[in-house]
Amino acid sequence: MAILEKLQAQIAAFSEFQKNKGRVVAELLAQREDELLERQMDQLASGQDSEGRNLTPSYSEDLKPGGYFKTSSAAQRYADWKKSIATPAFYQQFPRNTDTPNLYVNGRFWSELGVTISENIIEFHGDTAYAEGIINKYGLEKFGLNETFWRMVVEDGLADELADYLRSQLKTI
């Protein structure tokens, strides 16, 4: 194959990749479901939402009639208790305001969290009514990886896998 023909074939392969990049990325991410869930849990443990802001409502804001706690002092006691229970060491890298929820008590919610991956969306969801109730309370839009935790996924090999896939497509010509 002449150089010009090979170059044209590579351009065509790259164009084909461009058309199918959503599918390719979804396939690569589907192989990393456990990692995506782990990063979501890391982010929640740090009290951050999908935009990198503190999860809300904070304990002190989560008061009845619409909230969980009967009194401000009950919310404070709960926040103090949550501060005293141990979360896995990794989460200490991303300290959170003690008034900010981290959605961790005994790991139940996290063990009932799932992820759905398609070409157009990555959605974290509850696999049980209990987990769905927590997601509904905080709002589905608050779940999903923010820039810091997406960067971890990308740097942990996703970028390399994507580059390897593209290289393999261009080499087949």
Q: pLDDT 10s digit of each residue in the chain, 173 long?
A: 689 998 998 899 999 999 999 999 999 999 999 999 999 998 998 899 999 999 999 999 999 999 999 999 999 999 999 888 766 665 667 788 899 998 887 889 989 999 999 999 999 999 999 999 999 999 999 999 999 999 999 999 999 999 999 999 888 65
**Integer angstrom CA distances of residue 57 from 25, 72, 102:** 34, 13, 11
Residue 170 lies in a domain: no
Residue 27 lies in a domain: no
**Which residue's entry shows tokens 């890298």?**
93
Within 13 Å and on the Cβ side, how many CA atoms surround 10? Answer: 12
The pLDDT assigned to 85 comes to 77
Residue 65 lies in a domain: yes
CA distance 96 to 132: 23
Phi and psi at residue 19, to the nearest 5°: -65, -35
The pLDDT assigned to 86 comes to 62
Residue 45 lies in a domain: yes
The pLDDT assigned to 155 comes to 96
Residue 20 lies in a domain: no
**DSSP state at residue 55:** P
Residue 7 lies in a domain: no
Chain centre to alpha carbon of residue 8: 39
Residue 22 lies in a domain: no
Residue 113 lies in a domain: yes
Number of structural domains (the chain) is: 1
Domain encompassing residue 51: 32-164
